[in-house]
Amino acid sequence: MAPRGGRGTGAARLSAGSARALGLLARRADVALAASCARPGDRVRAVGGAVRDALLGRRGGDLDLSVAAGRSEAFARRLASRAGARAVPVGTPPRRIFKVPFRDREIDVWEEEGGPDQDLLRRDFTINAIAFDLAEGAFASPPGALEDLRRRVLRAPRAGVFLEDPLRVLRAARFLAELPGFRIARGAEAEIRAAGRFLRTVPEERRLVELDRLLAAPPKDRERALHFLERLGILSSLIRGGAPRTRRGISLVGRLESSDPRVARALLLLPLGPRKAADLLRRWKTSREEQRLAGRLFSLPLGAGRGAPRERRGAPRPLTRRDVAELLRRSSPFEKESLLFLLAAGDARARDLARAALRLVRRPAALRRILRPERPLPLEEIRRALGLNEGPELGKALAELDLALASGEIRGAKAARVWLRSRAGVGNASPGC
């Protein structure tokens, strides 16, 4: 059904372009599936980002559906059944959501609170409170919502929205990062600043989701959003760092040529020092994998050129294959993340080293030879030649041998035996029988 003009809380008219956009929204596979599941009285409306992005001409993401009070659970289960999935409840009534996976997206089913018009007013911003009725093809919105969308303004539909849920402070910053050209409405910053003082009361998992999406935005956009939080004192409060260190972290995030929020978060926290940064990552309940990655990133040689030997003319020592191999082996299994981290935070020599290593990362076979070089001699012969039994000294010697093989310093069994003879007796253990 073709979209009709505004009704309910909004009285604005859709432009021809906006009407076409909502027509395309109605033909999305997930929207069409939801419409087919609706029964009389369900009042199913698409609301939030999918409608907003359609009107902005952007490719939409996940779908949020608002369903009439008392009907959300039954609708969600019908929807899940047709999608070949399972409806997963999150939260408790009246703020319970049913999440339904569908293809590469997710459909969130909400239940209306206080009727359709009041339900829109509990949304975070007017541009996210534009609803599209799947059965009638009509839309509704709070007063001024379409004008806010046209002017690219983030405005709350009523006072108290941020204080009701302080997480919306991070959402405001995230929308600044995700929606180019948008700005916060004049007068909204006072409430955002006040709500920011309560952000620590929000569960860490919820904060992490918003921060991930913010940090996954393009570099300049996420940098702008972080500066917004820093200017209001919210970011310093979250990471418990002084303004100079906070600004330094933001600058590093802006240099990152990646949308990986884990690397961006490590850069943001880097000026705090490895120990404090690692402690914050644990408090924020990041995954163990991310904490392991951060530990590897924080150990990288950011000042690779400092203290390096210099030639007579004062030029830095040229990079060698050994330098590159050593960096890749040190950063494994997080080679790509480590090199992007170095490109953002390292000095000139570290960045040159990272660029050289990136060329090898793009060649899987060459990278495998560096990370898992094939030893040309059996382990027992290596052990006897070194005069070492099992233990840490043997492990250290094997690592040195592997690095020499990875960098091409040793080629073949003959060269390996020469190398071993030059290092015979490095340990105190006696050779085996």
| Chain center to CA of 63 | 20
Alpha-carbon span 253 to 266, nearest angstrom? 9
CATH of 161-298, one of 3.40.1190.20, 3.40.50.720, 1.10.3090.10, 3.30.70.100: 1.10.3090.10
**Residue 212 burial by CB count (10 A; 0-12/13-18/19+): exposed, middle or buried?**
middle
Among 139-148, 358-367, 424-433, which is the least confidently predicted range? Answer: 424-433
Q: 186: alpha, beta or left, given left = phi > 0 and alpha = psi -120 to 50?
A: beta
pLDDT at 13 over 80: no
> What are 246's two structure tokens?
């906070």
pLDDT of amino acid 400:
94
Mean local confidence (pLDDT), 166-192: 94
- Confidence tier at 18 by pLDDT (50, 70, 90): low
- Give the number of other Cβ atoms within 10 Å of residue 163's Cβ: 15
User: Each residue of 56-107: pLDDT tens digit?
Assistant: 888 778 899 999 989 999 999 999 999 999 999 988 777 789 999 999 889 9
Per-residue model confidence (pLDDT) at position 177:
96
Residue 117, pLDDT score: 82
pLDDT at 433: 32
User: 343 falls in which pLDDT band (50, 70, 90)?
Assistant: very high
pLDDT for residue 273: 94
Q: Name the percent of the chain lying above pLDDT 70.
A: 90
CATH architecture of 6-154: 2-Layer Sandwich (3.30)
Range from 152-156, 167-171, 279-283, 427-431 carrying the lowest mean pLDDT: 427-431
- Convert the pLDDT of each residue in 289-334 to its tens digit: 999 999 999 999 998 544 334 444 456 778 999 999 999 999 999 9
pLDDT tens-place string over residues 403-420: 999 999 999 999 999 999
Q: Could you tell me the pLDDT band of residue 4, with boundaries at 50, 70 and 90? A: very low
The answer on pLDDT for 11 being more than 60 is no
CA angle (409 as vertex; 408, 410 as ends), nearest 5: 90
Using CB atoms within 10 Å of the CB of residue 405, give its burial: 0 to 12 exposed, 13 to 18 middle, 19+ buried.
buried
Average pLDDT along the chain: 88
Report the alpha-carbon distance of residue 430 to residue 389 in Å, rounded.
7
pTM of the predicted model, to two decimals?
A: 0.84
Using one digit for the tens of pLDDT, what is the confidence trace for 143-162?
A: 899 999 999 999 999 999 99
pLDDT at 151: 95
pLDDT of residue 425: 56
- Find the mean pLDDT for residues 399-404: 94
In the chain, where the domains are located: 6-154, 161-298, 323-368, 379-422
pLDDT exceeds 80 at position 432: no
218-269, pLDDT tens digit by residue?
Answer: 999 999 999 999 999 999 888 877 778 899 999 999 999 999 999 999 999 9
